[in-house]
Structure formats: C-alpha cells, structure tokens
Structure 1
C-alpha cells in the first residue's frame, strides 16, 4: 500500500512540475509590443494604422499620435497596414530576452491609381433635357423617413417585424391567463365579436387580404 501511495505521489509531483514548466514557458513567450508608426520622410505619427498579428483575428490601431501597444508572442509576425501607405511586416525575435519589445516603424506613402473615367456630353441639348427629366434621383434621408412614416409602410413594418422578448412573454402570459379564465368551458369565438368584425371590414377595405405578387 505504501508503494502505491509513493507511486501516486511521485506521479502527482511530476505532473505538477511539468504543468509549472509549461506555464513558465508560455509566460516567457508573452511579449508586450509597443511603439510608434511614423512617416518615413517627415517623421510624423500616423493615426489609424492597423497593427494585426498575421494569421490571427487580433490586433489594434494607432492613436492620434501614431502610438500603439499590443500583447504578442515571440515569433509572431506583425503587419502594419494603412490605406495610404505601403504595408510593413515586423517579426518578433524568438530569442528575445525579456517580455517587452519596442519598435519605431516607418511607412512610405503609397499612390493608388484609380481607373480612368471618360466624361462625354450629350449630342444635343434636347437629348440632355430628356435624359435629365427621366433620370432617377435617389431619395434622400428626409424622403426615406417620410415614406417610412406613412400609414401603409407602418402596417407593412408592423406585420413583418418580429416581436421582441418582452412582447413574446406578454403574449404567452395572456394565453395562459385566457386558458385559466375559461378553464372547463368553451372560450368565446371572435365570429360573434362586433369589434373583430369591425377590424376585419377595415382590413378588407384597405386591401390587406389582396394577393401580393
């Protein structure tokens, strides 16, 4: 029995030592990367530069002065990208001593060439006037808001918008209350309800029951 206890204790100590060694290895591989991203010609901080770890969905952006800070691992590849500058890549050394690494990353401006656009006038003023009158002008925000506030659009939105959690809970509670109120008897039918007939006639006049293509 003592031999069994000694074997279990030895295995436990070995596992604990192995887990501690793995934890120390992981903790030693974590690096606090910080620095500044600047233009290569004037040494001015570049804001809104994406600082991402290659192969991972994790990163940060530089602040208004071009300064950034992010936690990485030794051996990670850090990509610096911006819409107006050429991308840069920095590799964190695997044999880095310590857990901090600072960089001053310089970026070169990149020129983006858009495809050429050729503007041609209409052959005659009459054709221009005809095309101008028949052209479709997109609705602005005020017109879209006015259309959404119309009675017909509100009815469509009400019928198509699903209820939230609170509304669903209220409907369930009303159903439970109705079942409890008419327990042991037949609940009233809306076919004999004048208010229900009034709503049906209004909906029929509005055309709610017409077949929609």
Structure 2
C-alpha cells in the first residue's frame, strides 16, 4: 500500500514538473494530454510504457493500468515505447479548442529473431563427431533396459506392489461404511460373490484354517 502511494505521488509530482516546464514556453497552447496504452492483440493495458515528447526531452510513463496524463503543447509529437513492442508516434493536433485531450494508444508487438546458437561440449564439431562415433555402449545395458520395460514385467510388478497409505485408508473407510450400512440387519450372503471365494481359497492355501496342535 505504501509503495503504491509513493509511486502515485512521484507520478503526480513528475507530471506537475513537466507541465511547469511546458507552460513556461507557450502557456496559451498548453493542454492536459491523457489516455491509456493497450496492446493490439488483446486490448490489455500496457503498464510502465515510456512516453516522451520528441525534441523536448521530457515525458512520463504509464501506471500499472496503462493510464497516463501530463501537460503538453499543441502540435507536439509524442513517442510511445515499451520493451517487446514497436515504437509508436502520435502528434497532438494544433487545431484543438479545448484544454484537454485524450487518446487510446495501441501498441503492436515486436518480434525479435535471434540467430541460431549451437553449443557443443567439445571445441569443434569434428571432435564431437569423433567422440560420438567412439562411444561404446554395452549391449547388456540395452538388453536390461528392454527387459525392464517389457509390458509383462511391468504388469507383474503392478500386481505385486502393495497398497500405499491412501489405498489402505480407502479400504478401511469402505469396510467401516459397509458395517454401518448393514447395522441392525443380516449381512448379505457371500456364496455368489467371486471376490469372497477368491479370499477363501487364498486363506486356505496360506493354511489359516488348519487346527492348531496343543
């Protein structure tokens, strides 16, 4: 909040200073020149655009919302410039009868083409080519990589991977919800449930139904 106040105060002070310099020359031709600067592609406000009165060396810049306002003279040529956009010129008409004048300045983006730069870890392309051709890649590493990426191996690892904390929590919450759902009534018969039969055979193979010996 303090930063915005200081910025607004400096903007107003600089605008007043510019107006005082202009009014000393031709007070009868001084107008309040204001407006907003926007982009041509999206009509978005362009903040902090530099605005200069040509051949006078004075000017200002737009605020965060692309707005500007300063004192100028009739017939002044105004230069708008911003990084990434083409420069734009606007000349204030010298036939104005009002002491206020507003515009909407549109800025077109400026595309800068940079030359291609190729970076090699070797001093010359010939040395890079020689090192690349001399590179010895072991066949066993490639075979190991192909084996690890085999779909059957990945599927087997997926089946053997235990549940994480999230899956265990969901399973526990589902069991609690099932018990609450059938609270006060007989639970459903699991004779036709294939998952129940699968759990039964698994427990049987693990020996959980064997009678313990004294």
Q: TM-score, normalised by structure 2?
A: 0.45
Larger radius of gyration: 2
Q: TM-score, normalised by structure 1?
A: 0.45
